[in-house]
Structure 1
Amino acid sequence: MATYDVELSRKGPGLMLRDITRDDPQVVAITQVVTHLRPDVLFLQGVDYDADLLGAKALRDQFGKGGLYYPHVFALPPNTGIPTGLDMNGDGRLHTPADAQGYGKFRGASGMVVLSRWPFGDARDFSTLLWRELPEATLPEVNGQPFPSEEAQDIQRLSSKGHWVLPVQHPVKLVTLFLFAAGPPVFDGPEDQNGLRNADEIRLWTHLMNGKLGPMPEPPFVLMGGANLDPEKGEGQHAAIQALLNDPRLQDPLAQAGPTVDWREPTPGDLRVDYVLPGIDLKVTDAGEFWPKPDEPAYELLAKKDIKASRHHMVWVDIDF
């Protein structure tokens, strides 16, 4: 199983699909990485959503040209670009990308998709959960008043993009995926609106496992996606991701691993922000992040003509059922 933020989102609807069908160099590079590693279940972020999943299926078909075909494709509408009509970030303006439920220039921007060799069961979608409805939510304030306003907090969803609970019907055993892509804990002010939201997006999984968001799915399960938060470096509420990584119900096969994204310019540089965390009852046989060194043959998959597949690198875990 693997998670991979491919950063394929474009500036408007339909543009990602256009680039995929034109064999855009970034698409070619992403295809090379995916078909090199060949995960059985692949969770992608940074893929623009459309109602008929034309973009996701076109990307799937690109992988098929490399001999890797996924019969099953799953995606739900992300919160990105959903208009609110309110000033959601306190900058005094309306109808900007930051005033949507999740930052986005259009509905469906930078969404999530799952590709699988095996069929899916019925999904649970927590993407519409209001931030203030999360148990023990920490909402931003300025001088003791809700930020940016009480009206904004009344409609603000927690998920920047989405939180899904998705069963995969593996032939040996059904395994449930906990999937998400949290927003960045930066680009805000002293109220730390984005930092607090990012932390609560991560904490949602602890509340789910504690039974505070309805029935907890039966194990086994695997939590994976983009937390947008390093346990130690960069900005953000580091305690949130540290608590998740230390949860006794999860195992972190890459606890001693390095970064998963190279945000070199500007700062903060290389950070670990992408995770695959299997439940403690699963047998992990191998794990890694695809970040080949310049002297390794696979390095050319990331560096041909200076075109990178993504600043993020695929994180994967092998599980033996």
Structure 2
Amino acid sequence: MFRSPLCALLIALSMAADGAPLAEESMTVAAEAPTTVRVATFNTSLNDDRGQLIERLRHGHNEARRVAAVIQRVRPDVLLLNEFDFDQEQQAAELFQRRYLEVGQFGEQPIHYAYRFTDEVNTGVASGLDINGDGKVEGPNDAWGFGFHPGQFGMLVLSRYPLDSAQLRSFRKFLWHRLPDAHRPMQPDSDPPRPFHDERTWRQLRLSSKSHWDLPVDTPVGRIHLLLSHPTPPVFDGKEDLNGLRNRDELGFWRHYLDSDQAQPWLVDDQGRRGPLSADARFIVMGDLNNDPGDGSGYSAAIEALLQHPRTARFDAPQSLGGEESARLSRLKPGDTPARTHTASFGSLAGNLRVDFVIPSAEFTVLNAGVFWPTTAEPEHQWLSATDHRMVWVDLSVKDASSEEN
């Protein structure tokens, strides 16, 4: 069930301007600390090819209002926003929080997040390489990650609870070829087979199309490592399957990161620290992962390897009635993935797919979960026009919420 506006108001009133509890209320807040945490991921489509998101937010952005309304309705405690353009001064993030989230939209109650994190991504950053093989070194396809300007399709984390950015592990610059089982794109129809990229280019390619972040958050149920990414869609390429293979390996990176029983000295983050996630760390893999377990153009085994990893929890996939209705009204051919679990609607060409995930570690109990996809009979359905993705949320608890985590 969603939190009531009264509950949200009490939480907001308990926080000072910097997000810390007011001194006179700190004992009450501690005594009534929740034992569950609602975590969500949402691809907001708040990006602009011309790099004008800041101006659009400043002058009134109807899609941003709808996105904010969804957030205000679901009221997650910890939230990852994909496709939110990054700027160094965080002007877009500040405007979105102050003018959209902290102002009631369409009758919803405002929501305040005391903590946020964003950082550089690979999208739109010129590589100086001919990545797409067209003989030129220019344009969005030759950036480290597809994008028309640096920061496009960025990632933004909003949280009610402290984010430990000092302990961030970022893998934005991790080289693709260093992945032990990297799937190197090959020239189509070549005999004998030969690589799509020359050796010099292949040795420089970055794996992450945006970034891979391990960002710790300290919650009432303990420390959680947020494992955040937004792999490239496995389409928009040629027979060499550049994007499909990259998506496969961007997901495969997290599988290696969870394999804590292996030393993996090759796994070095941008900060110079080596090795996988510690064996006793609680975590959540989350984001628009652009891979459906049963349908679509991606290598479904890559997402299944995360869903079925020994360290991840087993629970029923988040669902919605709206996803089921959408598939029926669109006359989509039934696929292997149940329509109730779909999280995105890509139109007649690709149909509806399950591509957005919140995957907690096995230490968590999943109390509730859902996909925010109202049916056409519900007034909130109009909010869906803001983005082709739907928010996915999960309510989590642990058996011993007072224990300390790494």
Cα deviation, 1:81-114, whole Å, max 9, x if unaligned, reads: 1111221011222211000100011111110010
Residue 7 of structure 1 corresponds to which residue in structure 2?
45
5+ residue gaps, structure 2, are 1-38, 105-109, 268-274, 318-337, 399-406
Residue 151 of structure 1 corresponds to which residue in structure 2?
200
CA distance in 1, matches of 2:380, 2:397: 25
Once the 2 structures are TM-superposed, how far is the Cα of residue 199 of structure 1 from its aligned partner?
0.2
Instruction: Answer yes or no: is the 8 Å Cα contact 2:230–2:288 preserved in 1.
Output: yes
- Normalising to structure 1: TM-score of the pair? 0.94
Amino acid at match of 1:206: R
Once the 2 structures are TM-superposed, how far is the Cα of residue 252 of structure 1 from its aligned partner?
5.0
CA distance in 2, matches of 1:76, 1:109: 12
Once the 2 structures are TM-superposed, how far is the Cα of residue 253 of structure 1 from its aligned partner?
3.5
Residue 116 of structure 2 corresponds to which residue in structure 1?
73
Cα deviation, 1:170-224, whole Å, max 9, x if unaligned, reads: 1441111110000011111211111110000001111001133314133211110
Is the deviation greater in 247-256 or in 66-75? 247-256
Partner secondary structure for residue 236 of structure 1: coil
Instruction: Answer yes or no: is the 8 Å Cα contact 1:60–1:115 preserved in 2.
Output: no
CA distance in 1, matches of 2:314, 2:232: 22
Instruction: Answer yes or no: is the 8 Å Cα contact 2:126–2:143 preserved in 1.
Output: yes
Amino acid at match of 2:394: V
Q: Over aligned residues, Cα RMSD in angstroms?
A: 1.4
Amino acid at match of 2:225: T
Partner secondary structure for residue 21 of structure 1: helix
1:245 aligns with 2:298: no
CA distance in 2, matches of 1:262, 1:252: 25
Residue number among 164, 174, 183 corresponding to 1:129 in the alignment: 174
Q: How does 1:241-280 map to 2 (within 5 A)?
A: 241-251=303-313, 253-255=315-317, 257-265=340-348, 267-280=349-362
CA distance in 1, matches of 2:315, 2:171: 26
CA distance in 2, matches of 1:247, 1:215: 15
User: Residues 199 and 35 from structure 1, CA distance in 2 versus in 1: closer, same or farther, beyond 3 angstroms?
Assistant: same
Cα deviation, 1:13-53, whole Å, max 9, x if unaligned, reads: 3x111111222111111111111111110100001111111
- Normalising to structure 2: TM-score of the pair? 0.75
Residue number among 287, 294, 303 corresponding to 2:369 in the alignment: 287
Partner secondary structure for residue 7 of structure 1: strand
Instruction: Answer yes or no: is the 8 Å Cα contact 1:226–1:274 preserved in 2.
Output: yes
CA distance in 1, matches of 2:382, 2:50: 30
Once the 2 structures are TM-superposed, how far is the Cα of residue 7 of structure 1 from its aligned partner?
0.6
Instruction: Answer yes or no: is the 8 Å Cα contact 1:253–1:277 preserved in 2.
Output: no
Amino acid at match of 1:76: D
Instruction: Answer yes or no: is the 8 Å Cα contact 1:253–1:287 preserved in 2.
Output: no
Once the 2 structures are TM-superposed, how far is the Cα of residue 254 of structure 1 from its aligned partner?
4.2
Residue number among 241, 260, 277 corresponding to 1:216 in the alignment: 277
Once the 2 structures are TM-superposed, how far is the Cα of residue 148 of structure 1 from its aligned partner?
2.5
Instruction: Answer yes or no: is the 8 Å Cα contact 2:293–2:354 preserved in 1.
Output: yes
Residue number among 60, 68, 87 corresponding to 1:50 in the alignment: 87
Instruction: Answer yes or no: is the 8 Å Cα contact 2:314–2:362 preserved in 1.
Output: no
CA distance in 1, matches of 2:173, 2:238: 25
CA distance in 1, matches of 2:283, 2:127: 34
Residue 168 of structure 1 corresponds to which residue in structure 2?
217
Cα deviation, 1:225-266, whole Å, max 9, x if unaligned, reads: 01111112111211111221111211254436421000014x
Partner secondary structure for residue 147 of structure 1: coil
Residue 305 of structure 1 corresponds to which residue in structure 2?
none
Amino acid at match of 2:211: G
Partner secondary structure for residue 141 of structure 1: coil
Identity among equivalent pairs (%): 40
User: Residues 168 and 60 from structure 1, CA distance in 2 versus in 1: closer, same or farther, beyond 3 angstroms?
Assistant: same
Amino acid at match of 2:121: P
